[in-house]
Amino acid sequence: QVQLVESGGGSVQAGGSLRLSCAASGRTFSSYYGMGWFRQAPGQEREFVTSISGSAYTLYADSVKGRFTISRDNAKNTVYLQMNSLKPEDTAVYYCAAVRTFSIPTTPQAFHYWGQGTQVTVSS
């Protein structure tokens, strides 16, 4: 079992930056786990933001490409999401997810473990 805890959410003005963290515990957090970030705005489905494989290959949604960066530190059991040039449409609850795989999943159904989410609010 893997437990995930997100932190770093908050309120920021458009153009600002936030850094989200996702701390993993419960099992050895290793390069065997693919990690992802998803977000969900009120009344909308959960959508893919970015994911990273155990070997640090990354994928991004077109809407965040060039603005968001995912990274991982296996020694600290932590995944990060650096969000720059934030826009009001980035406002959502952001969720961290994990699955034991060597691939880079992009769908919510592919992930087995989820955090509780952290709110990100971007004002114009």
Give the per-residue pLDDT at 42. Answer: 93
Bridge pairing between strands 10-13 and 118-123: parallel
Give the per-residue pLDDT at 31. Answer: 73
Give the per-residue pLDDT at 27. Answer: 66
The strands making up 3-7's β-sheet, listed across from edge to edge, are: 3-7, 18-25, 78-83, 68-73
Which residues are CB-contacts of 76 (< 8 A; sequence separation ≥ 6)? none
Give the per-residue pLDDT at 116. Answer: 97
- The tens place of each residue's pLDDT in the chain, 124 residues long, gives 889 999 999 999 999 999 999 999 876 667 788 999 999 999 999 999 999 998 889 999 999 999 999 999 988 989 999 999 999 999 999 999 999 988 899 999 999 999 999 999 999 9
Give the per-residue pLDDT at 70. Answer: 98
What is the chain's percent helix, strand, coil content, to nearest 5?
5, 50, 40
